[in-house]
Chains A and B, each alone.
Chain A
Amino acid sequence: MTNIDPNRSGTGLSGSLPTLGRVAISLAGGIVLVFLAATAAGYISVMIEQRSADARDSAILGAIALAFAGVAYATWRFGQRFTSGETISSGPGEARTRQRLRTQMIYFGVALVVGGFIGGITGAFDQGDGSLFGKDWDKLSLDPSIAILLAMLLLVGFLGLPLYGFRMIDDYKRERNLIGFTGGCLGVLAGFPIWAVLHAGGFLPAPHAFGIFAIAYVSMIVAFLYARWRL
């Protein structure tokens, strides 16, 4: 959500090297994406064939989707860095930008690992029939020590990383992110009572925790995308 978006940081490449670099990155990224898509398709086809899906399947597919998104984003961003042969002179601003870029890459790596751990552990150690990110979350059953570990990881993933991410972005992106978070907050403030009265009127099932979480998440993303492209 933080939408960290590094600058092109002046690699000093010139001539045919940028084109070669772009082609190599696009090719490598494309191969990995095809592999991930094929893996996901194969996994889904097995699930359909067996007519069963549990929390572990969700976790694995979630991890594949995360990896796909990460590789796609990295391919796009690193490909862009090779699209220009311009050389940016070195100064304090550029040095800070390069340092920030390195930190951002570490940030993405940590976020990916934390997300993978949460999904993987939830899927692997669930003793019930629930799913952490699903309507049946209350059927999730975990060993207390695993639950504490997951709570800590979720705290890192949903609180620590976003707050840390805010420190790495500039005013403009911080503003867009704040619009996104505001959208998420307003979505819940308006969404829950609307859902409740619609339930009272017999239109919808009773509000549940994951639904509220989903409203917040979707509202946040919609508001962020609106701020990004329309404001």
Chain B
Amino acid sequence: MIAVQNRLKVLRAMRDWSQAELAGRLDVSRQAVNAIETGKHDPSLPLAFRISRLFDLPIEEIFHDEH
């Protein structure tokens, strides 16, 4: 299984958002944001696109695998 890593925590910190605030903007639970940030959960493709739009970055600049 390939672990998918992400820069969500960094991007969130750059905007000075809390996990709850980011969760609100993405319309998911705070726990979901926390799980994604800590690598416990990979977001669905629709959610990945929402994250991409929110930060105005391509998906591959937010999420990347080990390869």
- The 0/1 profile, CB within 8 Å of B marked 1, for residues 77-117 of chain A is 00000001010100111101100100000000000000000
Say whether chain A's binding surface is mostly helix, strand, loop, or mixed: loop
Question: Does A7 lie within 8 Å of B29, measured CB to CB?
Answer: yes
Question: Does B28 lie within 8 Å of A94, measured CB to CB?
Answer: no
Of all chain B residues, the one with the shortest Cβ separation from A94 is: B24
The number of residue pairs between A and B whose CB atoms lie closer than 8 Å in the complex comes to 59
Contacts of A94 in B (CB 8 A): 24-25
Say whether chain B's binding surface is mostly helix, strand, loop, or mixed: helix
A9, A86, A96, A175: the one within 8 Å of B18 (CB) = A86
Tally of chain A residues near chain B (CB < 8 A) = 23
Does B23 touch A at the CB level, under 8 Å? yes
- In the assembled complex, the CB of A229 is this many whole angstroms from the nearest CB of chain B, namely 11
Contacts of B18 in A (CB 8 A): 84, 86
Of all chain B residues, the one with the shortest Cβ separation from A173 is: B29
Question: Does B30 lie within 8 Å of A8, measured CB to CB?
Answer: yes
Does A169 touch B at the CB level, under 8 Å? yes
Residues of B at under 8 Å CB distance from A? 18, 20-21, 23-32, 35-36, 40-41, 43-44, 47
